[in-house]
């Protein structure tokens, strides 16, 4: 694969870095205070700058720059301040309407291109996000509608979402006619539909009330809000979780690694102990080198997975490897940064502790380490060729 970024991808990094220097870094106080009004204002500026358009093709109003440009965009933003920004919700919205088409696409697409529409994948239940056959949320056909009943939890940004894509059982996994994942279908549910409500926000290590528990109480959705076909709900979920979720989270975590690198180098050159900058101490240099190793490796994995997706090659295992590595590396590098900063590293005015708190909540998003390893192992055992990209999950999880 070519190791050179395209001129457009290079320019994306310059543009987003300048945006971050102007619109994010001077306003870290607002972000630290979790000022949601500020975050939404920032979302408008990010939308005006087209940061949500990387995956939308040119003919549909996007930039079509692809997954590597998207990875760079999120990396630079999250180095400035790591956060799941609302623009991820716009990318999910594009993914869902693209899979649904028809009236749904016509209705939401203009707002998605403007960056004013957000959506969430509504998949996970209390039994977990990966045990899809254990889900209890179900949909039954009633005339020209579907009626959905059930509960979902850990749904990120549901409180700002205009709609979501809900995975529900439409058949019995033990019935030969709807065996296994064929029992699952996906539906678009809009926030104002009667019977749909958020029951509580959940607080995590890095943020307050950004994930929610949802109730579906006889929510009636039109027939054309079915995503794809009946019994084929798992495919759009895999696309959303893999392309938008897993690669997006990987890029955000790479932003944490980049941020840890930047603040550590700066601090090490400025901090004087025993009459000289601590950057002259080999112990500090080794920690900086360790961060650089993780930064280079994690970026390379993310860009390769992005490159494969840009080529239209399915790469579940590569996405899993990239997210697995980035999760651990982000945590590791933030800890190096804290060590380099000493006591300053855990002060709230300094960035290392922010990066440190961001990484662990990302473990569950898009698959735990164990689920990711399961994807990798399945790819290996099914004979996927790591040189050209795996096709492991074609058989479905």
Partner 1 sequence: MKPISIVVCIKPVPDSRHWEKITLDPETGLLRREGIPIIISPLDRNALEEALRIKENRDGKVTVISMGPPNTVEILTSALAMGADAAVLLTDRTFAAADTLATAYALASGIRKLGEYDLVLLGNESLDGSTGQVGPQVAEFLGIPHVTHVNKVNFIDEDTLQVKSRIELGYMMIEVKIPVALAVEKEINEPRIPSLLGVVQAKEKPMSTWSANDIGVDKARIGLPGSPTQVAKVFAIEVKRRGEVLTGEPVEVTRKLIEKLRAERVLPKVC
Q: Give, in order, the Cα–Cα distances in Å from 191 to each of 118, 149, 159, 161.
A: 11, 15, 9, 7
H-run or E-run covering 145:
strand 145-156
> Of 197, 185, 87, 184, which is closest to residue 152 (Cα–Cα)?
197
Q: Give, in order, the Cα–Cα distances in Å from 75 to each of 8, 34, 284.
A: 16, 20, 24
Tell how strand 272-273 and strand 276-277 pair up.
antiparallel
Q: Which stretch binds partner 1 (CB under 8 A): 17-25, 119-127, 241-249, 341-349?
A: 17-25
Q: In terms of CB distance, is 7 or 312 closer to partner 1?
A: 7
Q: How far is the CB of 53 from partner 1 (least distance, A)?
A: 6
Q: In terms of CB distance, is 7 or 176 closer to partner 1?
A: 7
Burial code (b: 16+ CB inside 10 Å, e: under 16) for 89-119 equals bbbbbbbbbbbbeeebbeebbeebbebbbbb
Binding of residue 163 to partner 1 (CB under 8 A)? no
Instruction: Give residues 40-79 in contact with partner 1 (rule: CB under 8 A).
Output: 48-51, 53-54, 58, 63-65, 69, 73
Binding of residue 383 to partner 1 (CB under 8 A)? no
Binding of residue 22 to partner 1 (CB under 8 A)? yes
Binding of residue 18 to partner 1 (CB under 8 A)? yes
Q: Give, in order, the Cα–Cα distances in Å from 72 to each of 189, 280, 369.
A: 31, 31, 23
Among 2, 7, 312, 383, binds partner 1 (CB under 8 A): 7
> Of 377, 234, 388, which is closest to residue 314 (Cα–Cα)?
388
Other beta carbons less than 10 A from residue 273's beta carbon: 11
Asked if 148 contacts 223 with a C-beta cutoff of 8 angstroms, the reply is no
Q: In terms of CB distance, is 62 or 201 closer to partner 1?
A: 62
Q: How far is the CB of 293 from partner 1 (least distance, A)?
A: 23
In the chain, what are the helix, strand and coil shares in percent, each to the nearest 5? 55, 15, 25
Asked if 288 contacts 333 with a C-beta cutoff of 8 angstroms, the reply is no
Q: Tokens 């794809």 map to which residue?
A: 228
Q: How far is the CB of 89 from partner 1 (least distance, A)?
A: 18
Asked if 60 contacts 109 with a C-beta cutoff of 8 angstroms, the reply is yes
Q: How far is the CB of 326 from partner 1 (least distance, A)?
A: 23
Q: How far is the CB of 1 from partner 1 (least distance, A)?
A: 22
Q: In terms of CB distance, is 89 or 389 closer to partner 1?
A: 89
Binding of residue 94 to partner 1 (CB under 8 A)? no
Binding of residue 270 to partner 1 (CB under 8 A)? no
Instruction: Give residues 310-349 in contact with partner 1 (rule: CB under 8 A).
Output: none
Q: In terms of CB distance, is 19 or 96 closer to partner 1?
A: 19
Q: How far is the CB of 52 from partner 1 (least distance, A)?
A: 9
Binding of residue 5 to partner 1 (CB under 8 A)? no
Q: What angle do CA 217, 220, 221 make, to 5 degrees?
A: 130
In 240-315, which residue ranges form alpha helices assigned H by DSSP? 247-270, 282-310
Token pair of 8 as six digits: 């457009």
Q: How far is the CB of 51 from partner 1 (least distance, A)?
A: 6
Count the residues of the shown chain that bind partner 1, applying the rule CB under 8 A.
21
Q: How far is the CB of 244 from partner 1 (least distance, A)?
A: 17
Q: Which stretch binds partner 1 (CB under 8 A): 13-21, 128-136, 273-281, 331-339?
A: 13-21
Q: In terms of CB distance, is 50 or 259 closer to partner 1?
A: 50
Among 19, 135, 154, 187, binds partner 1 (CB under 8 A): 19
Residues near partner 1 (CB under 8 A) are 7-8, 11-12, 14-15, 18-19, 22, 48-51, 53-54, 58, 63-65, 69, 73
């Amino acid at each position: 694969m070519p190791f050179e970024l395209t001129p457009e991808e290079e320019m994306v990094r310059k543009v987003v870095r300048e945006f971050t220097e102007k619109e994010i870094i001077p306003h870290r106080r607002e972000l630290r205070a979790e000022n949601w009004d500020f975050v939404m204002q920032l979302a408008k500026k990010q939308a005006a700058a087209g940061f949500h358009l990387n995956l939308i093709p040119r003919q549909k109003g996007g930039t079509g720059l692809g997954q590597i440009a998207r990875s760079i965009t999120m990396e630079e933003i999250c180095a400035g301040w790591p956060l799941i920004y609302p623009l991820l919700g716009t990318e999910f919205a594009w993914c869902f309407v693209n899979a649904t088409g028809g009236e749904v696409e016509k209705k939401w697409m203009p707002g998605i291109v403007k960056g004013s529409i957000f959506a969430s994948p509504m998949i996970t239940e209390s039994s977990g996000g990966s045990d899809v056959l254990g889900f209890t949320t179900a949909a039954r056909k009633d005339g020209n509608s579907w009626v959905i009943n059930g509960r979902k939890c850990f749904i990120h940004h549901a409180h700002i979402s205009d709609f979501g894509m809900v995975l529900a059982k439409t058949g019995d996994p033990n019935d030969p006619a709807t065996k296994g994942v064929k029992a699952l279908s996906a539906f678009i549910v809009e926030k104002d539909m009667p019977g749909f409500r958020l029951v509580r926000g959940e607080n995590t290590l890095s943020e307050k009330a950004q994930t929610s528990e949802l109730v579906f109480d006889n929510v009636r959705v039109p027939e054309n809000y079915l995503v794809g076909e009946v019994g084929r709900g798992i495919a759009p979920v895999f696309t959303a979780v893999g392309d938008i979720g897993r690669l997006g989270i990987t890029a955000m975590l790479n932003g944490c690694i980049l941020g840890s690198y930047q603040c550590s180098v700066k601090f090490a050159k400025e901090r004087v102990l025993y009459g000289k900058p601590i950057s002259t101490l080999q112990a500090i240099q080794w920690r900086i080198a360790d961060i650089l190793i993780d930064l280079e490796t994690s970026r390379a994995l993310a860009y390769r997975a992005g490159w494969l997706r840009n080529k239209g090659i399915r790469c579940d295992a590569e996405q899993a490897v990239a997210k697995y590595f980035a999760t651990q590396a982000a945590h590791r590098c933030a800890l190096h940064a804290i060590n380099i900063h000493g006591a300053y590293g855990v002060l709230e005015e300094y960035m290392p502790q922010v990066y440190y708190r961001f990484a662990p909540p990302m473990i569950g998003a898009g698959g735990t380490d164990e689920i990711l390893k399961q994807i990798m192992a399945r790819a290996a055992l099914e004979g996927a060729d790591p040189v050209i990209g795996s096709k492991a999950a074609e058989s479905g999880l």
